[in-house]
Structure 1
Amino acid sequence: MQSKDDKIADITASEVIEYFPLPFYVIEGERIILCNQKAVKVFGYEKKEELLGLTPYSLSPASQPDGTSSVVKGREMINQAKESGYYRFRWVHQRKCGRKFLAEVELFVEKGLIFATVKDIEREEKLKNKTVKIFEKMKNLVIRDFLTGLYNKKYFMEQLDRLIQASYRTKSRFALLFIDVDNFKEINDTLGHQTGDRVIEEAARRLKEAAPENCLLARYGGDEFAIIVSSTCSKDELYTMGHRLLQNLKTAYVIDNHEFYLSASIGIACYPADGEDAGTLLKNADIAMYKAKETRDGKYNIRFFEAEMEKEIHERFLLENHLKKALEKEELILNLQPIVNIIENRQSTAEALVRWENEVFGLVPPDKFIPLAEETGLIHEIGTYVLKEVCRFIQSFRKKEFNPIPIAINISLKQLENRNFTREVENIIASYGIEGKNLEFEITESVSTGNMEVIAENLRKIKGLGIKIAMDDFGTGYSSLAMLLNLEVDKIKIDKIFINNIRKSRDEKIIRTVISMAKELGLTVIVEGVETEEQVNFLKNINCEYGQGYFWAKPMQVADFEKYLQGRYVTMYKNR
């Protein structure tokens, strides 16, 4: 038999207000954002859409019986409600046809929203027996999420506090599952918030369908959900439950002819082992969820909280704070590594690499701070810094009457998804008097996971500036022949994992095949990670023209690279 809570949970906000025996509407700011059909009828309209967006004062004559402007007096009534949370008064309304009627208005204020009911005095007696139901429905409306019909954060927190108190007395346990939809922002940014809302509605429905009967499921925030589960569950049972929830979420979504797939991450914290108060328990479940996103537990992103996670999160927090100040403190250092024409044994181009020397953490590896910069948005500032430093170097080198070689700069997915990126590049190179042919941009195969429409447009405009495009780390990710052609890539850089295994027949064949294919397509091939003479000879034998690696030179700071180009201190950087 379905419980009372389950029956209520099946009712959405829009459905709830239709049960009201009175005309009812919700005000946000000074506009009506939600109403029921009875409100439409009492004011003489035909459709809800005619009421939505109106001010409550526009449903009144110009002035009230005491001569006061309806707008002025109406705002006074609303302010009274805001001060006390509730206000009741009599008010003269006016229907669409112009007919006036006296009504009793009740205003309820909750979370910045104003809930209004309108009683036609002539019908008051008929409605008295239904008043209790109004309050019950409104109470439920306050504890429910408008969009999904699930419990809201406020109610969830109240129940969590009560459960902690009860569990403390009875020495019982329970688990808290914190669920976050992966990359939901991309759906909003790409398809719009209206589509995003429909996705959240469907995700909530699927979670409710897969959640255990006796759990408390709530929408905690935008794309976050939380579940409280009984103490009878073991870790294996909780993992199975999480698996079921994620499995239900991942089935294809079809909205407005768009088909796409969702994934989510789940962090699990248990009372009392992982926290004895609501704040600690939620924090630790959130930490576990973040680690689930980061580490990906097999096929499904589910992690239980562990004490070591808190230390890692704290270190990451400190690292992020220091990274925010790295540019200001001039801790980022530009390095350059030569790219060599193997056949002619001469310098061809170079790659710009950024290094971070921090006073607390020392030399921070790029694979540690670059993903953090991308996640926090700092990659845009860092990318701008690198581009300006490279342009400054090329400008300086040219002033000394040397012919500048092209410098390759790594460009992140986040930068390419910025619609203003090309304009920013154009302005920077123009400010330094640099030609596009002096630069190359390296992208990675991860671009295939981004907003391809924006990325492709940016790359097209970048090539229009004369800047060549190279696909970095080729062979380790998602790239395809079609993508290379569609993005009009000029060069591909074969990842070092292949050259490291040249004695293996399979890896040798991969390099030979890629080079052969690239030449057919008119692409230049650069092999990364070349460290030995054996590797150089292998590349020469298969007519691979370009290489990069410690065999010729390690990454070096700008001043040293300038000397390197002038033929000085070459032996300092050779590693034969």
Structure 2
Amino acid sequence: MQILTFDECALFIILLFWVFALIRKEYKNRSGKILMFLLTLVLLTVIADLGGGTICNYCSGGRANLILAYVYNYLYFFCHNLLLPVYMLYIYSSLDLWHIFREYRFRHALWWGLIIVDNVVLALNGFVFDVFKLTDDITYVRGPWLVVFYLVAVIYLGWILGTLIRFRTYILKDKLSTLIFLFVSVSTGLAIQLTQTGLLVECFCISLAVLFFMVMLRRAVNQVNPITGAQKYTACIEKVTMNFKSAKPISVVFVKIVNNNNLHMYLGLKGHNEFLYSTTSRIDAICAGHGLTSSVYYMENGLYAIVSDEAVEEIVADAAEEIMASLTAEHHIGKLTVFADVRVCVVFCPKDMSDSSSLFSLGTNFHRTLPDTQNVHYYRDFKDNDEYKVRNDLDDILRRAVRDNNFEMYYQPIYSVREKKFVAAEAMIRLNDPIYGQVPPSLFIPAAEINGCIHDIGDFVFNDVIRFISTLDMNALGLKYIEMNLSASQCIEVDLVDKIKNLMFEYGVDPRFVSFELTEAATDMNPEIVDMNIRKLHEYGVKIALDDYGTGYSNIKRTTGLPIDQVKLDKSFVDMIDDPQMCIVIQDTISMFKEMDKEVLVEGVEEEAVARKFSDLEADLIQGCELMQGFFFCKPIPGPEFLDFIKRYKDKAFESII
């Protein structure tokens, strides 16, 4: 009765989860197919054990029952002996170690050799009955050769345990604990079956292990995002990290929808979700059409990662090209038609890249660091390019610069048209990296605003420039102020004003010698905090300038509502000064700000002809521009050189300079 109790429980558990795995279509990939085969073997083992036990315990003798009992027992041993070798295959496959198992012929020979030994011994039992036999009254009797099966099982168990120990650092704790529990459960069942011949609980122990298997599979179900239809980014991190640790060859295709936020606003939440699901379906279909064993992951913010196992590079390249063509074609979402701005980058690992952190950094930034084209990019074509290396390593460059103080302040003189001399300067930060050398601000400033380093950079600028001002005799040099840039992120710092006041107090700097530039974009961020900070700084005596006027979507009411002393016209105005229509715009713009009692400074003056046009206050073309700045007068230079420059031209008129 005890045998039936254990086996009936085992049959119920195994049958339940076998059906569950079948409904979930676990047989789609290699690991799923092995798992379904393993569950089928367990199910057949339990059925055979239950059938054989029923006949032996509850049926009378007779030739028909004896033959049926032999059939059940042979089926039991055949399926039972395959459980551990198939379980081993599942471990190698599910842990992405299949390439390791496949590479070594000795493993193949041993794996097949042990299976052959089991089946040869089982076949010989039909002649010598040294594994088991059944008496005429259908009594089960163990034979001396049965120990062979247990010895083979011990070898497999040792092999499995060694594999789990060797690769334990590669495996997530929950998956490792599940695999170890199965190992312990099967080992316990074998030990009990070997030592307690009347207590046949091995199949029940195996069914408990299967129960834990299903828990692990349920976790895999939760890794799929139901909105996008793709797996979550956490699953991607887990898989790719494991692949790198085991040196498994994979290809990763990153797909970035650059205008994802715009599509979200245009389509709305429901329409955007439908768009993402459709995108995932397109990618899945293309990968399947090219015969790729791929997993599609949605990494958030319009970024997909398609990871393919051991794929041929040419096939992956063809699939990437088709993905680009498909996703850049028009999408119909309801009654709306949209076009996605897509970038695609292909990486072959570990040949192209050997660590997961660099790979995910590439995935996050490649649409900014690689050329802005809708061609498929291959990382191998860019990885040795110096400019790409700088762009891709900007986060590390910035962290290194903040840590090691790799910044230096340069100063560009500002020329007064009316006074015909240099009266101010703009402070500009430079980054000199020990590995890459000079890194342009146009590269590292946007990156710093994204990763948050802009606040550390801003603190360096405040401290270094205010300290520099404190070393100058501003009045004797004829300098009225030195300007510093305020980024959009800095404008909303709640302690901005106190920070600047404390530095001025520490270095004994008069606020009138300091000017801060802010862009039009900065004025739109959190208006209440920006207004409060700018007004407090202005009330303290600091000069406020609006930088790069004309490059943004200018809101006159917004920008003129702030206490702005100076407006700096962007270089784009200068570049179009010879256009008659643009001249009217420039003239009217300057006149407008002059009527508002604001200084006007023209940036980007690089030619003598342009400088003379802006310097001629009597000309009909442009009137009222007080200040100019640009390479025609002087490029940005380090502090000591700037000081020498100002002393050299302190009393010289404009005509003598040009």
What range describes the TM-score normalised by the shorter chain of this pair? Answer: 0.5 to 0.7
Q: Which amino acid aligns with 2:278?
A: E
Does the Cα contact within 8 Å between 2:236 and 2:297 map onto a contact in 1? yes
CA distance in 2, matches of 1:478, 1:262: 24
- Write the letter of the residue equivalent to 2:277: K
Tell me how far 1:358 sits from its aligned partner: 4.5
Paired position in structure 2 for 1:145:
223
Query: Which residue number corresponds to residue 415 of structure 2?
Result: 340
Contact 1:352 1:390 in 2 (8 A): yes
Partner of 2:540: 465
- Tell me if 1:218 matches 2:291: no
Matched AA of 1:338: P
Report deviation, 1:525.
Answer: 0.9
CA contact (8 A) 1:266 1:288 kept: no
2:511 maps to 1:436: yes
What does residue 176 of structure 1 align with?
253
What is the match of residue 485 of structure 1? 560
CA spacing shift, 1:153–1:372, aligned 2, 3 Å: closer
Judge conservation of contact 2:606–2:631 (CA < 8 Å) in 1: yes
Any idea what SS the aligned residue of 2:467 has?
helix
Which one of 357, 377, 382 corresponds to residue 304 of structure 1? 377
Cα distance in structure 2, aligned partners of 1:140 and 1:441: 57
Which residue pairs with 1:561 in the alignment?
642
* Paired residues of 2:492 and 2:525 also in contact (CA < 8 A): yes
What is aligned with 1:101? none
The alpha-carbon deviation at position 245 of structure 1 amounts to 9.9
Letter of the aligned partner of 1:240 in structure 2?
Answer: A
Distance 1:134 1:175, change over 3 A: closer
Q: Hey, what does 2:491 align to over in structure 1?
A: 416
In the other structure, the counterpart of 2:602 is 527
Amino acid in structure 2 at the alignment position of 1:536: A
Q: Map residues 161-560 of structure 1 onto 2, 5 A cutoff.
A: 176-179=253-256, 206-211=275-280, 212=282, 214=285, 216-220=295-299, 225-227=304-306, 234-243=319-328, 266-269=343-346, 287=362, 290-294=365-369, 297=372, 303-312=376-385, 313-316=388-391, 321-326=396-401, 331-398=406-473, 405-447=480-522, 450-539=525-614, 540=617, 541=619, 542-543=622-623, 544-560=625-641
* Distance apart, 1:446 and its partner CA: 3.6
Maintained 8 Å contact 2:296/2:307: yes
SS at match of 1:384: helix
| Partner of residue 71, structure 2 | none
Instruction: Name the structure where helix makes up a greater proportion of residues.
Output: 2
Determine the C-alpha separation between the residues in 2 that align with 1:526 and 1:421.
26
Task: Tell me the CA shift for residue 408 of structure 1.
Answer: 0.7
**How well do the aligned residues superpose, as a CA RMSD in angstroms?**
5.2
Answer whether contact 2:241 2:356 (CA < 8 A) is retained. no
The answer to whether the 8 A contact 1:287-1:305 is kept is: no
**Residues 158 and 430 (structure 1), Cα distance of their counterparts in 2 relative to 1, 3 Å cut:** closer
CA contact (8 A) 1:373 1:379 kept: yes
Q: 1:319 to 1:279 in 2, by over 3 A?
A: closer
Q: Helix, strand or coil for the counterpart of 2:483?
A: strand
Deviation per CA, 1:248-301: give whole Å up to 9, x if none.
79x99xxxxxxxx99986543276xx7679978996686366231346746xx7
Q: 1:356-404 CA distances to partner (integer Å, 9 max, x unpaired)?
A: 3445444433323333433443332222222222212322224997775
Name the residue aligned to 2:106.
Answer: none
Contact 2:328 2:340 in 1 (8 A): no
Considering only CA atoms, is the larger Rg found in Structure 1 or Structure 2? 2
Gaps of 5+ in 2: 1-21, 27-173, 182-209, 262-267, 288-294
- TM-score normalised by L of structure 1: 0.59
* 1:553 Cα deviation from its structure 2 partner: 3.6
Q: 1:134 to 1:208 in 2, by over 3 A?
A: farther
Change (3 A) 1:145 1:572: farther
* C-alpha displacement of 1:512: 1.0
Taking only the aligned residue pairs, the percentage that are identical comes to 24
- Asked if 2 retains the 8 angstrom alpha-carbon contact of 1:370 and 1:379, the reply is yes
Q: Give the conservation status (yes or no) of the 8 Å contact 1:180–1:224.
A: yes
Asked if the contact 1:551–1:575 (Cα under 8 Å) also holds between the matched residues in 2, the reply is: no
The Cα of 1:137 is off from its aligned counterpart by 7.5
CA contact (8 A) 1:143 1:152 kept: no
Counterpart amino acid of 2:546?
M
User: Is the 8 Å Cα contact of residues 530 and 548 (structure 1) preserved in structure 2?
Assistant: yes
Contact preservation (8 Å) 2:390, 2:436: no
Q: Which amino acid in 1 is paired with 2:519?
A: T
The secondary structure found in structure 1 opposite 2:231 is: coil
TM-score in terms of structure 2 length: 0.52
Query: Is 2:346–2:376's contact at 8 Å kept on the other side of the alignment?
Result: no
